[in-house]
Amino acid sequence: MTRGSGRRARRSAIVAPLDTAGFLGASAAAWISTSPSLLPRTWWMWAVNIGLSEVYGYASGVLAGRVVRRLGREIGLQVRIAPDHRRRARWAGAGALVGISAYSWVRGALRQREISHLVHEEPKNLATHVVGTAAGLGASLLALGLARSTIETTRLYRALLRPYLPRRLVTVVSLLLTVATVAVLADRLLRGRMLETLIERADATNRLISPDVPQPTSSVRSGGPQSLETWQSLGAPGRRIVSGGADRLLISETIGREALEPIRVYAATSGTRTLEDTVAAVVAELDRTAAWDREVLVLFTGTGTGWLQEWSLSAIEFLTAGDCATASIQYSFYPSGLAYIIDRRSPERAGRLLLEAVRRRMARLPADRRPALYVAGESLGSFGGQAAFRDVPEMLSTVDGAVWTGTPSFTPLWQQLTARSRPGSPAVAPIIDAGRHIRVVTRPRDLHRNYWGGLYEQWQHPRVVYAQHASDPVVWMDLPLLWREPAWLQERVGHDVTPAMRWFPWITFWQIAADMPLSIAVTGGHGHSYHEEMVPIWAAVLGQDADEGEQRAQAAQHRAIVRAIRAIHPQG
């Protein structure tokens, strides 16, 4: 009977009515969570925003309520409301809550339409917002139930330990046991099940040989005839990379002059091959394909899975008339977010080891026979590729140019650059050293004029471009978003970001986090999708400047290249 009464008491504690202050805090947080962020929301993005915001609001409200009640007792303040007034106050409060909730939700849905238009996406239908809101409310209630279950677990331990331990130790030991219980359950759920499932899926995806990706027939592609790398060893992203792109004939037809067959080499790590061995395999492929005889050599650092953006690869090949070689390695088969959590050193080592190995090999060539050396990377690849350099002067003295796309804010070299940017320049496109060597580009027009339209100083070689959209959550995601408003949000100058976006502690962090997974799927030129702009960006970095009389012809050629790349890479 005692055990049964205890179980009933615990159940009643878990399903007890909501704390009034907590409910008000959760309601206010839910209103704020409907405010706009960078990209249009799917139903699950609505659910994440509302669910996590309500958890934060409820906890803050409960804490604030206890503090107020404690202060009231300390100063002897008592508030009494007559019963008839209390009833009217409840109805008035309920009406206000319903009205404000409806207003914030409708306003949030309308803001989503505005964001969709800014990034050239089709607005989501009403069902998306309704389902996401309902799922978010359900998730917050589930989180509340889990929190109350944890509190009841502490009380259970306290009741069990009270007969055997001194009173002062009971609270401490019960808290420690509760923490240990939660930690074990979380470890089994997150690391033991979810993490293993993610790793297994990533491994299966990497080993999948798609019939839609044909094996190369060119000898200057890894995995093709005479290649030292087998088709199966390249991994799914590597197979897609060496199989893609245009051949010599298409490049010749597009640019109107004779072209060479572009070289693409790739190698992947495995359980039997270290990162150093993989780098050596890439250098061997460069030797085999005579890549050192080409005019341009570009070293790419890939994302966590080893993926490279086809728009960047193809832009280089068309602009150089195929007189180029591109090289990369797969250092991991995990998605970038998982790779950064599990092993953030691998992308840094991959970028550094590949550059060092290639430079050692090039040092053995006569100075007049060395190709121009460029480096590039997108997202986590940008983070890893920049790790090859201690600072900006070393980067400028080591390579002939670089293109860093969608660089995460935690990249050390990027942090060095922003620290030395011109005061007053916008955070979305800081001006560095008057644009002599480095320019930050949010859209192609920023290549030759700064974000405000002012002229740069003469662009000198080597040239480095940081391409980053104002609406790219990968660029702006940062842990301090939890407690500090960033400069880019204070300024609100992004051309494809709604000026209605505001910063709120905790909530904005999760809004940006929810924007990240689908940011690569939005229309090119927005979010984390860098497509057509890669053609003029690479043309500028390669030094293909046009005078006033040639600008129209160059623009026409770039449009032809864009059409050709879109035809061979329609999913981009």
Identify which of 310, 301, 365, 356 has the alpha carbon closest to the alpha carbon of residue 332. Answer: 301
- Which range has the worst mean pLDDT, 70-79, 95-104, 356-365? 70-79
| Average pLDDT value for residue range 236-247 | 94
CA distance 507 to 193: 28
pTM, full prediction? 0.89
DSSP state of 158: H
pLDDT higher than threshold 90 for residue 279: yes
pLDDT higher than threshold 70 for residue 3: no
Surface-to-core class of residue 46, CB atoms within 10 Å of its CB (0-12 exposed, 13-18 middle, 19+ buried): buried
The Cβ of residue 449 has, within 10 Å, a number of other Cβ atoms equal to: 13
- Which range has the worst mean pLDDT, 23-27, 195-199, 368-372? 195-199
- What percent of the chain has a predicted confidence (pLDDT) above 90? 68
**To the nearest whole number, what is the mean pLDDT of the chain?**
89
Structure tokens at 145: 């139930």
Largest CA distance in the chain: 95
Q: Write down the pLDDT at residue 106.
A: 93
3 state DSSP class of 527: coil
Identify which of 391, 452, 448, 460 has the alpha carbon closest to the alpha carbon of residue 420. Answer: 391
Highest mean pLDDT among 146-155, 255-264, 265-274: 255-264
Digit-coded pLDDT (tens) for 404-415: 999 999 999 999
Identify which of 311, 332, 364, 10 has the alpha carbon closest to the alpha carbon of residue 153. Answer: 10
Q: Write down the pLDDT at residue 14.
A: 61
- What percent of the chain has a predicted confidence (pLDDT) above 70? 95
For residue 498, report the phi and psi dihedrals to the nearest 5 degrees.
-65, 135
Query: How does residue 468 score in pLDDT terms, banded at 50, 70 and 90?
Result: very high
Query: How does residue 46 score in pLDDT terms, banded at 50, 70 and 90?
Result: very high
| Average pLDDT value for residue range 492-515 | 92
- Which range has the worst mean pLDDT, 175-189, 474-488, 490-504, 508-522? 175-189
For residue 372, report the phi and psi dihedrals to the nearest 5 degrees.
-70, 130
Q: Write down the pLDDT at residue 199.
A: 75
pLDDT higher than threshold 70 for residue 313: yes
- Which range has the worst mean pLDDT, 71-80, 396-405, 418-427, 495-504? 71-80
pLDDT higher than threshold 70 for residue 12: no
CA angle 423, 119, 482 (to 5 degrees): 55
Q: Write down the pLDDT at residue 15.
A: 62
For residue 133, report the phi and psi dihedrals to the nearest 5 degrees.
-65, -45
pLDDT higher than threshold 50 for residue 483: yes
User: Which residues sit opposite 296 in a β-bridge?
Assistant: 324, 372
Q: Write down the pLDDT at residue 165.
A: 82
Q: Write down the pLDDT at residue 167.
A: 79
More confident residue, 315 or 186: 315
| Average pLDDT value for residue range 300-317 | 94
pLDDT higher than threshold 50 for residue 1: no
Digit-coded pLDDT (tens) for 140-199: 988 888 888 888 888 888 888 888 788 778 878 888 888 888 777 777 666 656 777 777
| Average pLDDT value for residue range 257-283 | 94
